[in-house]
Amino acid sequence: MITAIRHCSYAILPILFLILISGTAQASDDNPSAVQIARLKYFGGGDWYWGPSALPNLIEFVNRNCPIEIASEEVRLTLTDEKLFHYPFLFLTGHGPIRFSPEEASRLREYLSAGGFLFANDSYGMKESFFESMQEVFPDDEPVELPFSFEMFNCYYNFPNGLPKIHKHDEKPPQAFGWFLDDRLVALFAYESDIADGWEDPSVHKDSPEKRQAALRMGANILTWVLLN
């Protein structure tokens, strides 16, 4: 069970309670307390499966450098999967479009309201459809651009200018957009940064070691901010 994990300033106790009553939340790793990350399978035409080496490399980096252990294998599931509430951290990536059905939007709202967290990485072209989909999840709330002073950017590694720029895309500055519930950040969208591509094997995008290191460190910040104090 994930009994020892706490959000650094926003409690995730509701989802921990759900995990405790609904079953185990870890993979078959030797450490039974290892947290497992779930990759979200979505519909609408986008490639949810993009970057198969990204999460394994990030997990290896976090396990080697941070005071947290992540299960070595990612889970892949949809929002209607009965085991959704077993996992405190959802990862979503790809190239748009993305669409949530009314059932999926309701399910994601329930998951996030219960203490879960969604990190969405825009590999390119996802912003418009993702924002529209999140409008179905939170019809009364708008995303907020996170300032550079937001604690996620310096909770482990220091990023004084916010998200690092990994790929040029439209050559705009990176932006981090968040959705909040009762002052708790529940969803994060990384735009014009594409840190998940920087997590992939060096041969995939041929990013410089410096860019890959920045991407991995920012990923570690997100995970530690969500899962640790």
Q: How confident is the model at residue 223, as a pLDDT?
A: 96
Distance CA 48, CA 145 (A): 24
The answer as to whether 66 is a domain residue is yes
The answer as to whether 74 is a domain residue is yes
Q: How confident is the model at residue 12, as a pLDDT?
A: 40
The answer as to whether 188 is a domain residue is yes
Q: Which CATH number belongs to the domain containing residue 181 in this structure? A: 3.40.50.12140
Distance from chain centroid for Cα 74? 12
Distance from chain centroid for Cα 52? 15
Element (H, E) at 119: strand 117-124
Q: How confident is the model at residue 204, as a pLDDT?
A: 82
- For 206-227, how does the pLDDT look when each residue is reduced to its tens digit (9 = 90+)? 889 999 999 999 999 999 999 9
Strand partners, 122: 94
Q: How confident is the model at residue 13, as a pLDDT?
A: 41
What is the number of domains present in the chain?
Answer: 1
Q: Which amino acid is at 2?
A: I
The answer as to whether 195 is a domain residue is yes
The answer as to whether 3 is a domain residue is no
- Angle at which helices 54-65 and 209-227 cross, to 10°: 70
The answer as to whether 165 is a domain residue is yes
Retrieve residue 37's tokens.
Answer: 């990350």
Q: How confident is the model at residue 25, as a pLDDT?
A: 43
pTM (global) more than 0.85: yes
Positions of the chain with pLDDT under 50: 1-28
Q: How confident is the model at residue 167, as a pLDDT?
A: 81
Q: How confident is the model at residue 24, as a pLDDT?
A: 40
Structural domain for 156, as ranges: 13-227
Distance CA 110, CA 99 (A): 17
- For 53-75, how does the pLDDT look when each residue is reduced to its tens digit (9 = 90+)? 999 999 999 999 999 999 998 99
